[in-house]
Structure 1
Amino acid sequence: MRALLTSKVARRGLRPILGLIDQRIERQVRRELTNLRDDRRPLEFFFDGTGRGISRLPSPPHLERTVAELAKVTGDRDGAERNIAQAFRLLVALEALGVGRIAGGTMNICGKLSAVPLLDPPNDDILEIGTLYGMFGTGLIRMMQRAGHDPRLTIVDPLAGEQLQPGTKTTADPTGTPVREAAVRANLALAGEAGTAARIQRGFSEDPEVRAQVSDRSYGVIIVDGDHSAAGVAADLEWAEQIVAPGGIVVLDDFGDPKWPGIKEAFDKHMATDTRLTFLGKVARSGYLRARASG
């Protein structure tokens, strides 16, 4: 009893000190904000080193639209809301802990991380064509695990030190981090054993030798996020037809993005062929397709 009374007295004695600490912290924060406002440099100067703008926070309209699109594609409104929330927290955590960044807008990334497990692919083999820093693959492993899957990730990417995209100027990444296998491995390690076990095949997806190395299985999920030209996407879709499992999911990144018209062009031409892919719909700036059984 004496110890309890002593503890209560001690807490009461600390209250004035804690109050002073809170006031000091508040004054310090106010000074820092004032300094930022008075600085002549734009606010973006302090945040653009991430290569992704000021904030990952989505606007309410963008969030609501993405949830609605995800619910329509997957048929699961509750799951859409839950997965978007989980994916957003995961995205922020990965970019805080990882090396480099995840390319793309917040809602497109969260949409992809959310949609794939909700679409319940037929097996746990995942092929990611184009990875940048491997951070999206890391996030997808985690989201698949949360849905009860045991993902096995294969990555195809040249990992040439810089992000390569035909038709665009090659420049250093805004993060300042070289695009190297070591960075990808560091990020994959954040996903634990499944991340460290991921296969990485360096090279271009249209290279026959690269394809031969990773065409040893049928994939339940294929992420097409490599060469964004019409020819490049067409080649990747043709390859996906050969290696996607019956019922498998093919994700076309940057689908409908006006900056990359070749993606939609290749998609339209491919869907006009005798394809076994069925278009499920679009979430943010990614298109989703499911493969029928052959024949």
Structure 2
Amino acid sequence: MAKPPLLLRQALRPVLRTLDARIDRRIRRTVGDRTRTVTELRRTVEELRAEVRSLRAGGAPGPGGPPGTADPAADPVVRATVEAIFGPEGRRDRRVDPDRMRMLAAELADLGDPRGAAPRETVIAHRTLVEVENRGVGRIAGSTPNIVGKLAAVPLLRPPNGEILEIGCLYGLFAGALVRQVMRTGHDYRLTLVDPVAPRQLQGGRELREDASGVPITEALVRSNLALAGVDPERTRLCRGLSGDPGVRAAASDRSYGVVVVDGDHTAEGVAADLEWVETITAPGAVVVLDDYGARQWPGVKEATDRHLKRGDGRLEWIGRVATSAFLRAR
């Protein structure tokens, strides 16, 4: 094949150099893109490997966290463990809703909290609930806000002495937790329980269905639970029977109580009778707790309490409400 004329070759040389340069740039750019693609793929593979290592170690990367940062809540073993310790099987759910706990602390502060201790007392009361309930046999009746509210309020309201009366004790676990809270006030304690100790709860003269815990109530179990909670048996007495029984009232009326929990007969008539009795056995400044006040399933508690206070001729005065418990103060 004949070579192009010299003049033509000279004329085409700049064009060929330009084409060669463009081709060279295109090749370099393509190779660079491929290199970047390979680098990105390698980085992705390393991230996936790190995530697998993290999962094997006990959790997925936390939200927004670097690979390898474990989030324990993502581990099914951790979830199952938390469920077993705090979950609702055989009782109410004891896991914490942060918003509800903040609301609970605010309700407690409304009772009177000049030291700003309500958030602290809320957390401590929840710890006490979980520890005592898990240590004992049976359960503490009520929702977590209801129980935490009652326990946390006692140190905040500063009862005048450590004489405690609980009307209706179920398995004795709440009484054990309450003793701890009274001790936080600096008072020594003595505990009086009034309860028929029937195998199943009694309400309005009838026996309720089997308890959610599946455990029958016995006096031996109540006393064992109190001991497991750290309550001194020498400081405890059980007046066995209904709060309206004359013999029970006579046995329990020999003290001026600083803390009284009314959690027995939830009918309006039963609560009214208990309040009349409480008027006569409380020390000045005593804290009186009405359990299940405002609870939809127990309208008699609120009805009787409101009617008693509306009369205005007794010693008991309204302090406030936390969750489904009302708090009164004895003049």
- With the length of structure 1 as denominator, give the TM-score of the two structures: 0.81
Matched, 1:282 2:297: no
Deviation at 1:60, TM superposition (A): 2.5
Aligned residue number for residue 46 of structure 2: none
Aligned residue number for residue 93 of structure 1: 131
Question: For the structure 1 residues 31 and 119, does the alpha-carbon distance in structure 2 shift closer, same or farther, using more than 3 Å as the test?
Answer: closer
Question: For the structure 1 residues 218 and 77, does the alpha-carbon distance in structure 2 shift closer, same or farther, using more than 3 Å as the test?
Answer: same
SS in 2 for 1:50: coil
Matched, 1:236 2:274: yes
Conservation of the 8 A alpha-carbon contact between 1:58 and 1:107 = no
Match of 2:175 among 123, 129, 137: 137
Match of 1:123 among 157, 161, 166: 161
Matched, 1:259 2:297: yes
CA–CA separation in structure 1 for the residues paired with 2:330 and 2:185: 21
CA–CA separation in structure 2 for the residues paired with 1:148 and 1:57: 29
Deviation at 1:206, TM superposition (A): 0.5
Matched, 1:23 2:61: no
CA–CA separation in structure 2 for the residues paired with 1:24 and 1:119: 47
Query: What is the one-letter code of the residue matched to 1:209?
Result: G
Deviation track 1:89-108 (CA, whole Å, cap 9, x = no partner) reads 11111121111000001111
Deviation track 1:120-142 (CA, whole Å, cap 9, x = no partner) reads 11111010000111111100111
Match of 2:91 among 42, 51, 54: 51
Aligned residue number for residue 6 of structure 2: none
Conservation of the 8 A alpha-carbon contact between 1:138 and 1:195 = no
Extract unaligned runs of 5+ from structure 1.
1-19, 37-42
Conservation of the 8 A alpha-carbon contact between 2:319 and 2:329 = yes
Deviation at 1:234, TM superposition (A): 0.1
Aligned residue number for residue 78 of structure 1: 116
Match of 1:113 among 139, 151, 154: 151
Aligned residue number for residue 142 of structure 2: 104
Greater Rg by CA: 2
Identity across matched positions, percent: 52
Deviation at 1:23, TM superposition (A): 3.3
Aligned residue number for residue 187 of structure 1: 225
Deviation track 1:140-161 (CA, whole Å, cap 9, x = no partner) reads 1111212322121100011111
Query: What is the one-letter code of the residue matched to 2:182?
Result: M
SS in 1 for 2:152: helix
SS in 1 for 2:259: strand
Conservation of the 8 A alpha-carbon contact between 2:162 and 2:188 = yes
Conservation of the 8 A alpha-carbon contact between 1:251 and 1:288 = yes
CA RMSD across the alignment: 2.7
CA–CA separation in structure 1 for the residues paired with 2:75 and 2:145: 34
Q: Which runs of 4+ in 1 moved over 4 A?
A: 24-27, 29-33
Query: What is the one-letter code of the residue matched to 1:80?
Result: A
CA–CA separation in structure 2 for the residues paired with 1:223 and 1:124: 13
Conservation of the 8 A alpha-carbon contact between 1:154 and 1:198 = yes
Question: For the structure 1 residues 86 and 255, does the alpha-carbon distance in structure 2 shift closer, same or farther, using more than 3 Å as the test?
Answer: same
CA–CA separation in structure 1 for the residues paired with 2:104 and 2:76: 35
Give the number of equivalent residue pairs: 261
Aligned residue number for residue 212 of structure 1: 250
Deviation at 1:193, TM superposition (A): 4.8
Question: For the structure 1 residues 115 and 31, does the alpha-carbon distance in structure 2 shift closer, same or farther, using more than 3 Å as the test?
Answer: closer
CA–CA separation in structure 2 for the residues paired with 1:96 and 1:161: 21
Deviation at 1:196, TM superposition (A): 5.6
Query: What is the one-letter code of the residue matched to 1:211?
Result: R
SS in 1 for 2:166: strand
Comparing 192-201 with 157-166, greater Cα deviation is found at 192-201
Deviation at 1:258, TM superposition (A): 1.5
Comparing 215-224 with 270-279, greater Cα deviation is found at 270-279
CA–CA separation in structure 2 for the residues paired with 1:62 and 1:169: 33
Aligned residue number for residue 9 of structure 1: none
CA–CA separation in structure 1 for the residues paired with 2:195 and 2:123: 29
Question: For the structure 1 residues 146 and 25, does the alpha-carbon distance in structure 2 shift closer, same or farther, using more than 3 Å as the test?
Answer: same
SS in 1 for 2:232: helix
